[in-house]
Structure 1
């Protein structure tokens, strides 16, 4: 329904010579933890405060919350796809100078590359925070 409306409005605005602003909205209901595909989005000719404007900013990202059809897609609603699931066993690594310490931990949250999550070290039962690397390794302290 919205797509048809956008197709009707867009030519009128172009013919009228009016400056136009586009916003990105969901083309269908997107449950949380959905990887966004190009068909999941559409651009509407209206300026929605805080909404993304280019599909390239959202395609390949994962929804953090449910986004309903016709609702704007905002930067806080999406993020990198999760590499780590909550309660999964993960590798921890601490680096400082030439020192490298590796251990196993249990993820206390779900997250994607570049995000900080809390992890319980299985050997010491200590909870630490670390940044998820592109390979799923959790870097604890000593990271740039």
Structure 2
């Protein structure tokens, strides 16, 4: 009887959590050597080093503390206040100029940019080459 009771009792779940081995400042790239996996049951933490290595720290990460998903992200391609190429493409119309980024962004992010010629603020998508593309749906 006691065996049946023991089998039916909930046991604490054991899971892995990812921690850093050193202090990683916000904006720094995270390398595989910076990471360790520990056994801990902490909801909302990452556990796969392959998913974090090569990402950028969004906040300061301290050694021994679990890493949450919102603390890391893709590397920043465009920094705030950086002068960037700005392009608008609609059908056969293509316009290129320069703008100043009002936000930082990674590839695929939509950021605000001030067109340096017209001083208008537009929204555009960060491209892999570090330019910002404004489209009719995002402009």
1:40 aligns to what?
34
**Contact kept? 1:93, 1:138, Cα under 8 Å:** yes
User: What TM-score does the superposition give when structure 2 sets the normalisation length?
Assistant: 0.83
Runs of 4+ aligned residues of structure 1 deviating over 4 Å after TM superposition are none
Consecutive unaligned residues in structure 2, runs of 5 or more: 1-11
1:128 aligns to what?
122
| CA distance in structure 2 between the partners assigned to 1:112 and 1:134 by the alignment | 8
**Bigger radius of gyration among the two:** 2
**Residue of structure 1 aligned with 2:47, choices 46, 53, 67:** 53
- The SS at the match of 2:54 is coil
Aligned residues: 127
**Residue of structure 2 aligned with 1:106, choices 100, 104, 108:** 100
1:14 aligns to what?
none
**Contact kept? 1:33, 1:62, Cα under 8 Å:** yes
**Contact kept? 1:95, 1:143, Cα under 8 Å:** no
2:74 aligns to what?
80
Greater shift, 31-40 or 72-81, is seen at: 72-81
Consecutive unaligned residues in structure 1, runs of 5 or more: 1-17
